[in-house]
Amino acid sequence: MKKITILLLSGLLASNSQVFANNLNLDLTEIGVSGLSSGGFMANQFHIAHSDWVTKAGIIAAGPYYCAQNSIKTALSQCVNKSTDATSQNLPLQAETYEKQQKIAKLDNLKSSKVWLLRGTKDTKIAIEVTQALHQQYLQWIDSDNVRYLNEKPFAHHFPTLASGSQCDVSESPFIGNCHYDAAGKMLEFLYTDLQPRNPQPSGKVVSFNQQSLGGDPATTLADNGFVYVPKSCAAGETCQLHISFHGCQQNYQTVGNQFIEHNGLNNWADNNQIVVLYPQTKNSTFMPLNPQGCWDWWGYTSSEYATQNAPQIEAVKKMAESLNQKLDI
């Protein structure tokens, strides 16, 4: 396997950088995913495609599986800030078709999943009908006790945090909201069990890796580099879990630097709970494919099978996750 070149990011890293003493010891039996907006759609697609592996999903401001139906026109008319008739379209039928074609894992796997959903009342980007459709879709597959849907908080279209980002009722770059609300913590506490309190200041490391090397050919629409947050305990060889965080549109490293990676709050909780956080990255493109805002593919710009195990971006991120247990040299 190709050697991964690791680059240290500024900010979170101590000057006396500790070299990983061992391979990462990730328990990849099951993992969690989360995402905002296009990243929320991707988290949902990744969850449905690999429900035999992904058992936890946290989704902020996104809609139901296969909402766009392989059409940017449908995506814009039914799945964002306009009302959707996705519930009447019975979109789960497409998931059932994919299941029969063995393009996604068996839907029965979802029964053991836990799902946390959030939409702010001041969100003008994603209509409430869209997130309600996602909620109702999940309830067709998962017991209601394992699904939590929050839709009464006065948040705009962003990732709400305790003290980072712009005003809570404003949606602007880097799409992190100072809402005196720890969305990362609320989400993780529901998805995971027996969590230790958050670390006020993350003490682990953010490292970058070559997504093209780890993701292979399916990673061509992704950025050259992705990032991983590694708590000290995980760097020292303790058994750790993996959580994948998908950024939203205009929230990738190319656009906002490490602001989302450092300030969404996930790393604070990862520190004391032996969780490695993978931050895969898209890239902005204006031609082949047209993706100027660096969104994840939830309407079909990479492939008509963008929501299945055969989707290039899903396949690439899965390869990255499965490769993290190899030795990382700094």
Specify the DSSP element, H or E, that contains 75.
Answer: helix 72-78
Quote the CA–CA distance of 147 and 285 in Å, as a whole number.
36
Q: Would residue 36 be called left, alpha or beta, if left means φ above 0 and alpha means ψ between -120 and 50 degrees?
A: beta
Quote the CA–CA distance of 99 and 119 in Å, as a whole number.
29
| Short-list 12, 9, 76, 49, CA closest to 232 | 12
The residues assigned a catalytic role are: 37, 123, 157
266, with CB counted inside 10 A (0-12, 13-18, 19+), is buried
Quote the CA–CA distance of 297 and 103 in Å, as a whole number.
17
Number of Cβ atoms within 10 Å of the Cβ of 329: 10
Biggest alpha carbon distance in the chain?
Answer: 57
Specify the DSSP element, H or E, that contains 245.
Answer: strand 239-246
229, with CB counted inside 10 A (0-12, 13-18, 19+), is buried
Q: Buried (b) or exposed (e) across 286-303, using 16+ Cβ within 10 A?
A: eeeeebeebbbbbbbbbb
